[in-house]
């Protein structure tokens, strides 16, 4: 069955999203089928296409039915109760300003990386922030990051983000399979067996990096729109810009020298930024700041959020991370395809 038919199935979860999100979901699925089918057909001929389509069906099923709570358990995230503390109150205010149907649940991931991501759906959303982000960013900067994630929720980006994450996870093991096939081919020099197509091995190895390139090309406008929403919700462009620059300084950028090649070096893939966040495929911070300036100088669109007054953030003691995880934890690779 063609990939565009699978995207029709996925569209049931994209009700109310923009046409752009629906188109991106279809392109992600089509790209997935192409990336899997090319080496699979070199290995198994026509059967390889069937394998690619079956995997696409699995991707759709996982992206539709995996709840936010399951993702949070994978990251060992701890829920933050809804009370009058700083972070919980920030979520309350931002969710109210964004006119969300439901307040997002908030979680803390025990990691010293700087990251935040949103999962679930517009009706049942959840946001996770890492300990590293809470320790290194000021509260106004943290508010900008949270508002960006709430922007994704408000704009109904979560289905396509969830699909992109599942695609990434399913494709990651193919690089390891390529390493195994390469070892088999080297052994054929001794055993005399027929080697496997080296073109298939090369394509399998490149699949995760090519998938990241596809995500980068599709994510730009979605991230710009979430930034615009974050600025409107917080009323504090300076703090948002500072947060964007600090995140990029820490995580790097996919296009920077060496970062693209991390996906092609052992161990594969060399993730420095935890998923399901697509921070590695975000546009550069300078470009995001320029887009915010352009938006401020032009008229607001029909679907633009109401611009609010700056958040009033009282000076309070730093949010306590006691009980949320060891502060000296270092990022490391975990199963299945997690890095935090």
User: Could you give the residue numbers annotated as active site?
Assistant: 149
- List 126's β-bridge partners, or say none: 105, 119
Q: Using CA atoms, how far apart are residues 340 and 329, in angstroms rounded to an integer?
A: 9
Whether residue 112 has a cis bond before it, omega within 30° of 0:
no
Helices vs strands, H then E, count in the chain? 12, 6
The secondary structure of 80-147 as a DSSP string is EPSSSSHHHHHHHHHHHHTT-SSPPEEEEES-SS--EEEEE-SSSEEEEEEHHHHHHS-HHHHHHHHH
Q: What is the largest distance, in Å, between two alpha-carbon atoms of the chain?
A: 73
Q: Using CA atoms, how far apart are residues 136 and 250, in angstroms rounded to an integer?
A: 10
* E strand intervals along the chain: 78-80, 105-109, 116-120, 125-130, 333-334, 338-339
Quick one: 257 exposed, middle or buried, by C-beta within 10 A (0-12, 13-18, 19+)? exposed
* Nearest partner of 108 among 329, 313, 270, 335, judged by Cα: 329
- List 338's β-bridge partners, or say none: 334
Using DSSP, state whether 314 is helix, strand or coil: coil
- List 106's β-bridge partners, or say none: 80, 127
- Rounded alpha-carbon distances, angstroms, from residue 119 to 37, 105, 126, 164: 29, 10, 5, 12
CA angle 226, 228, 230 (to 5 degrees): 70
Is 119 in contact with 72 (CB distance < 8 Å)?
Answer: yes
């Amino acid at each position: 069955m063609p990939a565009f038919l699978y995207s029709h199935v996925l569209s049931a979860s994209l009700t109310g999203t923009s046409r752009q999100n629906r188109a991106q979901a279809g392109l992600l699925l089509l790209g997935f089928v192409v990336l899997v089918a090319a080496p699979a057909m070199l290995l198994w001929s026509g059967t390889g296409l069937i394998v690619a389509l079956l995997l696409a069906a699995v991707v759709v099923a996982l992206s539709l039915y995996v709840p936010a709570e399951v993702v949070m358990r994978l990251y060992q995230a701890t829920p933050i109760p809804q009370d009058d503390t700083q972070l919980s109150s920030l979520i309350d205010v931002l969710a109210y300003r964004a006119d969300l149907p439901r307040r997002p649940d908030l979680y803390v991931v025990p990691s010293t990386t700087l990251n935040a991501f949103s999962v679930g759906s517009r009706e049942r959303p959840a946001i996770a922030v890492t300990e590293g982000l809470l320790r290194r960013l000021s509260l106004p900067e943290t508010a900008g990051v949270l508002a960006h994630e709430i922007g994704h929720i408000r704009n109904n980006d979560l289905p396509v983000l969830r699909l992109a994450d599942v695609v990434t996870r399913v494709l990651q093991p193919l690089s390891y399979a390529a390493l195994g096939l390469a070892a088999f081919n080297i052994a054929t020099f001794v055993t005399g067996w027929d080697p496997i197509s080296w073109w298939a091995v090369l394509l399998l190895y490149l699949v995760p990096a090519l998938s990241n390139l596809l995500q980068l090309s599709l994510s730009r406008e979605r991230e710009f729109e979430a930034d615009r929403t974050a600025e409107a919700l917080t009323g504090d462009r300076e703090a948002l810009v500072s947060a964007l620059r600090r995140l990029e300084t820490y995580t790097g950028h996919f296009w920077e020298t060496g970062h693209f090649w991390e996906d092609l070096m052992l161990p594969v893939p060399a993730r420095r930024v935890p998923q399901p966040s697509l921070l590695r495929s975000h546009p550069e911070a300078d470009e995001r700041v320029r887009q915010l300036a352009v938006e401020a100088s032009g008229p607001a669109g029909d679907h633009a959020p109401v611009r609010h007054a700056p958040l009033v953030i009282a000076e309070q003691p730093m949010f306590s991370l006691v009980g949320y995880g060891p502060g000296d934890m270092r990022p490391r690779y975990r199963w299945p395809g997690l890095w935090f």
